[in-house]
Structure 1
Amino acid sequence: MFGNTKAFSGFAVNDLQRAKQFYTETLGLHVTEEDGMLFLHIAGGRSILVYPKDDHAPATYTILNFPVPDIEAAVDALTARGVSFERYPQFKSDEKGITRDSGGPAIAWFTDPSGNIFSVLQED
């Protein structure tokens, strides 16, 4: 039934303008704003909807992953832009916040201003 639809994902934030500033200035994403919502334009011609929600509560899991060819360089660049990386007790992270023993690729988690969890992960 939905095999040929152009599905898209979305998530909420508690401050749309603060989120827009973070996504454009810190993450370097192309962001547009329409009808009081943001659209994050990512590779592949797809967009992610970001909408305001006054009683927003961030998910307790990663909602957006950014595969990168060099996780060390990505973490260094984000750290230089003021991003702090999360450390979870079930995973061992190095001094930069990169986890290499999670059962998958090297990964580092961070949050947006609304507390939504994002990651950068090493491409294979």
Structure 2
Amino acid sequence: MISVASNKSSSLRCSKQYCVDLNTYEQREIPNTPVKVDIDFDILQIIDVDDVKFSVTLSMFFRVRWEEPRIIGLPEKGKEGTWDTIDNKFIEELWVPDIYVYSMKSSEKQQLLTKFAGPSC
């Protein structure tokens, strides 16, 4: 659920207990501190190996996690088990790291019921 709270000094965009102040947060700006981006994936199935084209087709689960230090309501630093999913509408308001996979020919995203995404929160 996305909510907007406004008063004279701030305009907050929130999802769960996490918020950004739209008066001070700029989505296109990189955070002021270095951001550690964790990437992991699970190969679910090797669908095809083409020796002629030097290509592999696979089905995989791809996860990207990072801490966005400008989000209001983050847990204390160093607290274990603090990863959380965030509503996609809220993600659209946030800076997200740009991930590039070298030599990838194409990708397809599948979804069953709803889209989920989430930064570290």
Q: TM-score range by the shorter chain?
A: under 0.3
Rg larger for? 2
More helix by share: 1
